[in-house]
Structure 1
Amino acid sequence: MLLVCGLALQGVFALRVAAAAWVDPASTSFQRSEAWRLWRSGEPWTWRHDWVPAERIATALPRAVIASEDAGFTEHGGIEWDAIERAWARNQAQQARAERRAADRPGQVVRPAKLVGGSTITQQLAKNMLLSGERTVLRKAQEAVLTLWLELWLDKPRIMEVYLNHVEWGAGVFGAQAAAQRYFRVDAARLSERQAARLAVMLPAPKRFERRPDSAYLAGRTEVILGRMGDVQWS
């Protein structure tokens, strides 16, 4: 029974991924869980999400996102194994340092090590579309399968289009159009290179940078991404 249920779930996932090649997804698993979280919080919030086709998104934005998030996006097959190996090694080293600090400070609360990932844009899309945010071996395995399916059935421009229309850019802010209007009061088609770079830098921690728009790191990293965007080919 478990095997049958597992195969049925894979079939549903496969159909959802294949459909995304032609049908614009109305929402993602992450968006629905985030809407539920915001509703339960009881805090005032506004939902912003407006799908726009790729031609209505300034080319500066995908270039900035590639420069910031996934430099090998146009070449890799969805998963960069070397990046995952490097991220695993960094996580192991940080975990060891956290354990040493805990041993040196008995009785004191020591913050756990901050884990870093090696996810490509396609992996991020796979996770956001259909999976939960938990970090388990089983979920990462499912993410890998979905990633390979996305790369099989969708071309790179379509993957980027779906990603940019659903990625989170703040509490209740999803997609390039909502982000452009929320932070710069312009449509996504009119984003400048600097504005696009700033949005790209926000992606790893959008809620944090939404609360700290004057962050020195945000400003400095934006300049770095601006410098890298010239090397990114995208049309």
Structure 2
Amino acid sequence: MDIRTTRIPKRPSPPRSAPSADRPENEPPRFVSYPIPGTGTSPDPATPTTTQPPAGADQAQPPVQPGTRSRRKWRRKLLLALIAPLVLAQIIAFTFSFGMTPPRTAYMLEAGEPVVYQFVSMNHISRHLLAATVAHEDEQLGTRVGAFDIGDFQARAGAYFQGKPDPSGSTIPQQLVKNIFLWDDQSAVRKGLEAVLATQFSYTLSAPRTLELYLNYAQFGPHLYGVCAASWYYFGTPPWNMSDYQSAQLMGVLPLPDLVRRDPNGGIYLGQGVHPAVWNLVNGAANVWVPRQIAGLGGWQAAVATVGITDTADSHADRRADSDSCSTMPQSVQDRIRSEAG
């Protein structure tokens, strides 16, 4: 039997491709990955895709420089230092709008004891006094938006930095926040704080409430504050009973209260030895400036109507037994008069 050997042909080797022009012949092959079948739509398995690392996985983050971190902290602290007082002032303004009336202010504390003072409600203040205050101190209190006219404020600031006299003077909101929170100084810092606080108060407090607080904290003599004490001290009468002439005289006291003295027989002393500025201010306010300004506003009723007040102090006569009516002379006023009499 002829046994023949069957030779199994060798599988032909795939032809070696020529080296790519982009890759040298002896460069090791790149690692490639193919999509796993059955995982959804995928490209043709014959088409390799180069594996890319996740975005940013191998990218090193630049280190934060110590100087940058300290600057950020400094900016945050500065921002907090600027915002915190404004927030606090706004909170205080809201408490004042809801009836808070502190027994002492910054001006009182700076002047020291003994302080002659007692609060009186707007309901028990003569409308002649309210009209005189609006006419003499701030005619636009009830009609202006904000604490001051921006043009007037710029003129005041320009005059201050040029060393010139103040062309207009502070408004009632500005004087109010100065009396409550600030100090007796003419520096730019104090005036700037005054402007910021006054703006916050003007948008929080109503015009009648602003006027009420102003008349309660304004200074009317050495260590003498508010119309309750002033009306009893100078004229021996409660604030709801003050006449138009007495009210106008009190307006003349406001610019130089530390120089004003009480006449031993009652009233504001304008006799021999009085300071010339006091004589001019009190007489000028009572006889010229206040009557003229009130007339320009259309009379005292029209003047108080600009701040939203249309009643009179007599409309609240049935409440004069209340503690905030100032119907009797405060003890501090009695002590002052007694000490001056010797």
Normalising TM by the smaller chain, what interval? 0.7 to 0.9
With CA pairs under 8 Å and 6+ residues apart, which has the higher RCO, 1 or 2? Answer: 1
Read off the aligned partner of 1:23 and give its amino acid letter: G
For residues 91-130 of structure 1, what are the structure 2 equivalents within 5 Å? 95=163, 118-130=169-181
Q: Equivalent residue for 1:194?
A: 245
Between the aligned partners of 1:15 and 1:92, the Cα distance in structure 2 is 32
Between the aligned partners of 2:303 and 2:184, the Cα distance in structure 1 is 31
1:9 positional shift = 2.5
1:169 aligned counterpart, secondary structure: strand
Between the aligned partners of 1:115 and 1:152, the Cα distance in structure 2 is 25
Between the aligned partners of 1:85 and 1:14, the Cα distance in structure 2 is 24
Between the aligned partners of 1:210 and 1:229, the Cα distance in structure 2 is 26
Note the alpha carbon deviations across 1:91-142, whole angstroms, 9 max, x for none: 577x47xxxxxxxxxxxxxxxxx76762100110011111222233232222
- Given that residues 108 and 115 in structure 2 are in contact (C-alpha distance below 8 angstroms), is that contact kept between their aligned partners in structure 1? no
* The 10-residue stretch of structure 1 (137-146 or 184-193) with the greater mean CA deviation from structure 2: 137-146
Q: Does 1:29 align with 2:98?
A: no
Q: Does 1:13 align with 2:64?
A: no
Note the alpha carbon deviations across 1:169-217, whole angstroms, 9 max, x for none: 0111110110001110000000000000000121111122337831541
Larger radius of gyration: 2
1:227 to 292, 306, 310: 292
Q: Equivalent residue for 1:213?
A: 269
Read off the aligned partner of 1:213 and give its amino acid letter: Y
For residues 170-185 of structure 1, what are the structure 2 equivalents within 5 Å? 170-185=221-236
1:32 positional shift = 1.4
1:165 positional shift = 0.7
2:127 to 34, 54, 59: 59
Q: Equivalent residue for 2:43?
A: none
Read off the aligned partner of 2:294 and give its amino acid letter: M
1:47 to 108, 115, 124: 115
Q: Equivalent residue for 1:150?
A: 201
Q: Give the structure-2-normalised TM-score.
A: 0.55
Between the aligned partners of 2:96 and 2:78, the Cα distance in structure 1 is 27
Read off the aligned partner of 1:189 and give its amino acid letter: W
2:260 aligned counterpart, secondary structure: helix
Q: Equivalent residue for 2:331?
A: none
Between the aligned partners of 2:157 and 2:260, the Cα distance in structure 1 is 26
Q: Equivalent residue for 1:84?
A: 153
More helix by percentage: 1
1:49 aligned counterpart, secondary structure: coil
Between the aligned partners of 2:205 and 2:160, the Cα distance in structure 1 is 31
Q: Give the structure-1-normalised TM-score.
A: 0.79
Read off the aligned partner of 2:121 and give its amino acid letter: P
1:52 aligned counterpart, secondary structure: coil
Between the aligned partners of 2:213 and 2:83, the Cα distance in structure 1 is 26
Between the aligned partners of 2:126 and 2:100, the Cα distance in structure 1 is 19
Gaps of 5+ in 2: 1-76, 263-267, 271-277, 310-342
* Corresponding residue pairs, total: 208
1:147 positional shift = 1.0
1:85 positional shift = 4.2
Between the aligned partners of 1:69 and 1:86, the Cα distance in structure 2 is 18
> How many percent of aligned residue pairs carry the same amino acid?
25
- Given that residues 30 and 132 in structure 1 are in contact (C-alpha distance below 8 angstroms), is that contact kept between their aligned partners in structure 2? yes
Between the aligned partners of 1:216 and 1:131, the Cα distance in structure 2 is 29
* The 10-residue stretch of structure 1 (124-133 or 8-17) with the greater mean CA deviation from structure 2: 8-17
1:75 positional shift = 1.6
Between the aligned partners of 2:169 and 2:154, the Cα distance in structure 1 is 8
- Given that residues 80 and 120 in structure 1 are in contact (C-alpha distance below 8 angstroms), is that contact kept between their aligned partners in structure 2? no
Read off the aligned partner of 1:178 and give its amino acid letter: A
Between the aligned partners of 2:158 and 2:85, the Cα distance in structure 1 is 32
Note the alpha carbon deviations across 1:21-46, whole angstroms, 9 max, x for none: 013321221111112xxx5xxxxxx4
RMSD of aligned C-alpha atoms?
2.4
1:233 aligned counterpart, secondary structure: helix
Could you say if the C-alpha distance between residues 220 and 119 of structure 1 is closer, same or farther in structure 2, counting changes exceeding 3 Å?
A: closer
